Copies of this chain bind each other. A is one copy, B any other.
Amino acid sequence: MTATERVYAHIRDQILAGTLRPGARLGEAGIAADLGVSRTPVREALRKLSADGYTDLRPHAGAAVRLWDPAEVRSSFAIRADIEGQAAARTAQTITTGQLAGLEQLCARMEAPGAVAQRSELNRELHQTILRISGLVHAERIAMQLADIALLTLTFHSFSNAQAERSDSDHRMLLMAFRIRDADYAQAVMRTHILTAAAVLDDVSRSRG
């Protein structure tokens, strides 16, 4: 693994974990010193982070963790609902028994009692797997990128058990749709699943100010 990749992963993880808050400035020299590399790989990593939407990068002014305004976050859910909805429909049409078994297993791991810490990771994997099976090559890249944007906001909220259970239930409905190869149903469930997440987030944000 190259130094550039290490730097990229390091900063991205810190952003997603919330250690680096939106607006935080990312000085090249500081990061280079922290990770024990020169500024060159740091610069390359910052450019990729910017291209992937994690940071803002202005010429001669440096990089800063990107600040997403609520409207942008909402719009990311709206687009994901479209893309992942279509992907779910295609997946329902083409999924194999083996792939279905893999998804069942993912769901089971997510529903296990002690899996709270891994929920986010497993959820990500579930959605990514469905996108991959759909065969919509770009959908996977785009939807996962948008999902990360949502994650940046979600990091600062905690959700109730009831919401986790509802989400698990959505996933089970989705697998049922795949099992009976009902594309319309799969699409509807996926759209609802994602738009519900958006609505819950909106609801929580409003009530907290």
Contacts and interface: CB of A to CB of B under 8 A. Distances in A.
Interface of A: 2, 5, 40, 43-44, 47-48, 51-52, 59-60, 71-72, 75-76, 78-79, 82-83, 85-86, 135-139, 142, 146, 149
12 contacts: A5-B59, A43-B44, A47-B48, A48-B51, A51-B51, A71-B135, A72-B137, A75-B135, A75-B136, A78-B136, A79-B83, A138-B146
A85 B83 CA distance: 12
Interface class of chain A by DSSP: helix
Nearest to A80: B138
Integer count of this chain's copies in the complex: 2
Nearest to A137: B72
Nearest to A49: B51
Contacts of A72: 137-138
Contacts of A48: 47-48, 51
A63 B52 CA distance: 18
Nearest to A2: B59
A85 to B, nearest CB: 8
Contacts of A136: 75, 78-79
A55 B5 CA distance: 18
Contacts of A79: 83, 86, 136, 138-139, 142
Contacts of A86: 78-79, 82
Contacts of A59: 2, 5
